[in-house]
């Protein structure tokens, strides 16, 4: 087996991979992708969803009347399954923390929020000094709408993606390339619903590792996490995803061939 190529051989190798069609479409943008196309390209189990933080009820969109849910993040589950609908603040009140992150805690529910925080700090789940750092929407929406990206019916403010780490790597690279993240992107754990005000407040990409409640209510698999970006940056972002997907395919072929030059790697 020959020696590993030096730095000078990388350019030649890349040209060879492109000549063989590896990473096809590199640098080309075929336009805005549909949710299904994005799902297929990135390798997601479910398509991305749009979330609207609205002042008016979206005309022609179904109002949520299927029954009470344990938390507002449970609505993500139904949107990921393809359903489009909108909710009112009262629909979110069964999770005091989720209502807080959305800025919609009703005056008569403040006591419930305090009790919930006391319970969480009491069992060591969170410390009181961590509470002020939990992101929350600065302006409370009168309605929150959910549905597949591109499904229409309401103005989207955020796009939410559930992805495995390998896909999340591509999403982060595309966020940086498109200017949606400046070299780094914030990430948080509990509560997962705080991802929405985090992305909305920073105006850029953000990640959430999920939390115990969210994974319970949404059914998010252990091997997946969340990625969120402002909807206004979706078109630029998806163009970068398409571009970098091809680049990563090229690099994957190069790395596999490079690895094959080292017998110890098996």
Residue 132 has a pLDDT of 86
How does 68-103 read in b/e, with b if 16+ C-beta sit within 10 Å? ebebbbbbbbbbbeebbbbbebebbbbbbbbbbbbe
Q: Is residue 20 part of a domain?
A: no
**What's the number of domains the chain is made of?**
1
Distance CA 47, CA 30 (A): 19
Is 10 a residue whose pLDDT tops 80? no
Residue 199 has a pLDDT of 97
Residue 125 has a pLDDT of 86
Task: Read off the pLDDT of residues 63-94 as tens digits, 9 standing for 90 and up.
Answer: 999 999 999 999 999 999 999 999 999 999 99
pLDDT band at 107 (very low <50, low <70, confident <90, very high): confident
- Is residue 253 within a helix (H) or strand (E), and if so which, with residue range? helix 234-259
What is the CA 75 to chain-centroid distance, rounded?
Answer: 15
Q: Name which of 259, 256, 248, 258 is nearest 24 in CA terms.
A: 248
Q: Is residue 158 part of a domain?
A: yes
Residue 209 has a pLDDT of 97
How many CB atoms are closer than 10 A to CB 12? 10
Q: Is residue 17 part of a domain?
A: no
Residue 183 has a pLDDT of 85
Confidence (pTM): 0.86
Q: Is residue 10 part of a domain?
A: no
Query: Is the distance from CB of 23 to CB of 247 less than 8 angstroms?
Result: yes
Residue 182 has a pLDDT of 86
Cross-strand pairs, 187: 207
Within 13 Å of residue 74, how many CA atoms lie on the same side as its CB? Answer: 18
Residue 266 has a pLDDT of 85
Q: Is residue 185 part of a domain?
A: yes
- The token pair at 252 is 């994957």
pLDDT band at 40 (very low <50, low <70, confident <90, very high): very high
Q: Is residue 155 part of a domain?
A: yes
Q: Is residue 104 part of a domain?
A: yes
Task: Read off the pLDDT of residues 168-177 as tens digits, 9 standing for 90 and up.
Answer: 999 999 999 9
Burial of 2 (0-12, 13-18, 19+ CB in 10 A): exposed
The residue range of the domain holding 225 is 31-260
Q: Is residue 216 part of a domain?
A: yes
Residue 112 has a pLDDT of 86
Task: Read off the pLDDT of residues 192-246 as tens digits, 9 standing for 90 and up.
Answer: 999 999 999 999 999 999 999 999 999 999 999 999 999 999 999 999 999 999 9
Higher pLDDT, 25 or 157: 157
Is 188 a residue whose pLDDT tops 80? yes
Q: Name which of 248, 188, 222 is nearest 42 in CA terms.
A: 248
Residue 74 has a pLDDT of 97
Residue 162 has a pLDDT of 98
Distance CA 198, CA 133 (A): 11
DSSP string of 59-120?
TTSPBP-S---SSTTHHHHHHHTT--EEE-GGGGTT-HHHHHHTT---GGGHHHHHHHHHHH
SS3 133: helix
How many helices and strands, by DSSP H and E, does the chain display?
9, 7
Q: Helix/strand/coil (H, E, C) string of 186-197?
A: CEECCCHHHHHH
């Amino acid at each position: 087996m020959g020696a590993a190529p030096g730095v000078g051989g990388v350019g030649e190798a890349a040209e060879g991979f492109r000549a063989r069609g590896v990473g096809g479409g590199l640098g080309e943008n075929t336009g805005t992708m549909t949710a299904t196309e994005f799902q297929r390209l990135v390798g997601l189990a479910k398509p991305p969803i749009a979330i609207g933080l609205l002042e008016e009820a979206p005309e022609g969109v179904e109002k949520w009347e299927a029954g009470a849910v344990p938390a507002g993040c449970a609505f993500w589950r139904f949107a990921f399954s393809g359903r489009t609908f909108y909710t009112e603040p009262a629909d979110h009140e069964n999770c005091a923390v989720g209502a807080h992150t959305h800025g919609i805690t009703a005056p008569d529910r403040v006591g419930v929020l305090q009790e919930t925080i006391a319970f969480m700090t009491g069992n060591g789940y969170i410390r009181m000094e961590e509470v002020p750092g939990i992101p929350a929407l600065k302006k409370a929406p009168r309605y929150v709408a959910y549905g597949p990206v591109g499904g229409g019916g309401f103005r989207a403010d955020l796009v939410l993606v559930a992805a495995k780490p390998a896909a999340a790597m591509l999403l982060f690279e595309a966020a940086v390339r498109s200017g949606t993240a400046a070299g780094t992107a914030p990430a948080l754990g509990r509560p997962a619903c705080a991802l929405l005000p985090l992305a909305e407040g920073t105006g850029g990409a953000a990640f959430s590792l999920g939390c115990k409640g969210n994974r319970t209510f949404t059914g998010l698999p252990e091997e997946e996490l969340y990625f969120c970006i402002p909807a206004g940056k979706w078109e630029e972002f998806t163009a970068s995803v398409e571009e970098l997907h091809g680049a990563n395919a090229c690099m994957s072929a190069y790395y596999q061939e490079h690895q094959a030059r080292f017998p110890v790697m098996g």
